[in-house]
């Protein structure tokens, strides 16, 4: 059974030596195969994947390749496992990990920056300079599961502790797979000046992030206005709606209009 040196496990959560995993072959071709269960290193845990969502970006990767980058190039035929929206249970702890406990339910973020480059030191770990340069050599630090390192279309995966989000027991597995996507929508709305009950917020749809933006806005008591159609039409309608959006959104939209920008920031995509 699974018992790597320096890794803490628990008999209540037995781990096999191998697991089932979907592996990307030619474009559009996934094969179910056996892979060794990965081993967490310092500041990493092993996650038993309990639920996984399929993002449109996963389909782009499977059929076309980008934005995944494996060994500095396309991800096809490189024993790569896609998938980046998943949740699960912590079942093993890498050396020195005490931030999480075995048996704890978590959901995951994609990126863990290397922590060494300029961008990571500035807190911009999602734009890590080492993106895509560490596949097969994760000691460099950066991980982007499902993009530069193996993702969640499998039974077990390693995640850095900085990419974990603890979830309450009352949250379903299915809901937990969308926590980070919901956070993306919330971040966009926050950057636009936040939400105030009674305000109108312009949100594009019907993509998943846009729909989650609508749900977040409603939960905060705001009034989301969903825009569809071409980017130019969305910009035109959004500018017309600017007086009913938050004042900060309106100011930013008018500023971008004066600057000749082709995009507005009063919505999430």
pLDDT value at residue 241: 40
Model confidence at 87, in pLDDT bands (50, 70, 90)? very high
pLDDT value at residue 233: 44
Contact between residue 202 and residue 225 where contact means Cβ atoms under 8 Å apart: yes
- Which one is predicted more confidently, 237 or 122? 122
pLDDT value at residue 200: 62
Mean of pLDDT over the chain: 79
Domains in the chain: boundaries = 18-172, 179-258
Query: Is residue 247 scored above 50 in pLDDT?
Result: no
For 209, the token pair is 């992030």
Distance of CA 84 to the CA centre of its chain: 6
Query: Is residue 9 scored above 90 in pLDDT?
Result: yes
Q: Is the dihedral of CA 140, 144, 150, 156 positive or negative?
A: positive
pTM given for the model = 0.74
pLDDT value at residue 152: 96
Which of 45-49, 206-210, 211-215 is the least confident region? 206-210
pLDDT, tens only, 91-140: 999 999 999 999 999 999 988 888 889 999 998 888 888 887 776 677 77
Contact between residue 213 and residue 188 where contact means Cβ atoms under 8 Å apart: yes
Separation CA 157–CA 176 (nearest Å): 16
31, exposed or middle or buried, with CB in 10 Å at 0-12, 13-18, 19+? exposed
For 18-172, the fitting CATH number among 3.50.50.60, 3.40.50.2300, 3.90.180.10, 3.30.930.10 is 3.90.180.10
Q: DSSP string covering 188-221, please?
A: HHHHTT---TT-EEEEE-SSHHHHHHHHHHHHTT
pLDDT value at residue 224: 60
Residues in the chain: 269
- Which one is predicted more confidently, 198 or 258? 198
Place of tokens 């896609």: 82
Query: Is residue 197 scored above 60 in pLDDT?
Result: no
Residue 125 phi/psi, 5-degree rounding, is: -65, -25
pLDDT, tens only, 12-68: 999 999 999 999 999 999 999 999 999 999 999 999 999 999 988 999 999 999 999
Angle at 144 between CA 140 and CA 147, to 5 degrees: 120
Model confidence at 255, in pLDDT bands (50, 70, 90)? very low
């Amino acid at each position: 059974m699974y018992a790597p040196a320096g890794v803490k496990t628990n008999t209540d959560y037995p781990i096999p030596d191998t697991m089932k995993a979907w592996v990307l072959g030619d474009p559009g071709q996934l094969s179910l195969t056996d892979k060794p269960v990965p081993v967490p290193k310092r500041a990493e845990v092993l996650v038993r994947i309990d639920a996984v969502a399929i993002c449109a970006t996963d389909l782009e990767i499977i059929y076309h390749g980008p934005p995944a980058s494996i060994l500095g190039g396309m991800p096809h035929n490189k024993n790569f496992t896609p998938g980046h929206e998943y949740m699960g249970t912590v079942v093993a702890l890498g050396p020195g990990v005490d931030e999480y406990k075995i048996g704890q339910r978590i959901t995951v973020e994609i990126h863990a920056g290397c922590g060494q480059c300029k961008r990571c030191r500035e807190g911009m770990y999602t734009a890590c300079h080492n993106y895509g340069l560490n596949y097969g050599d994760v000691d460099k630090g950066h991980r982007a599961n499902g993009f530069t390192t193996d993702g969640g279309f499998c039974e077990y995966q390693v995640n850095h502790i900085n990419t974990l989000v603890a979830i309450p027991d009352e949250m379903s597995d299915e809901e937990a797979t969308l926590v980070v996507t919901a956070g993306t929508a919330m971040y966009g709305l926050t950057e636009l000046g936040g939400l105030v009950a009674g305000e109108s917020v312009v949100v594009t749809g019907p993509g998943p992030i846009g729909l989650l933006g609508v749900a977040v806005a409603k939960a905060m008591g705001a009034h989301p206005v969903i825009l569809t159609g071409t980017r130019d039409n969305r910009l035109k309608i959004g500018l017309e709606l600017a007086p009913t959006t938050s004042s900060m959104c309106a100011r930013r939209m008018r500023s971008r209009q004066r600057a000749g920008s082709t995009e507005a920031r009063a919505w999430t995509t």
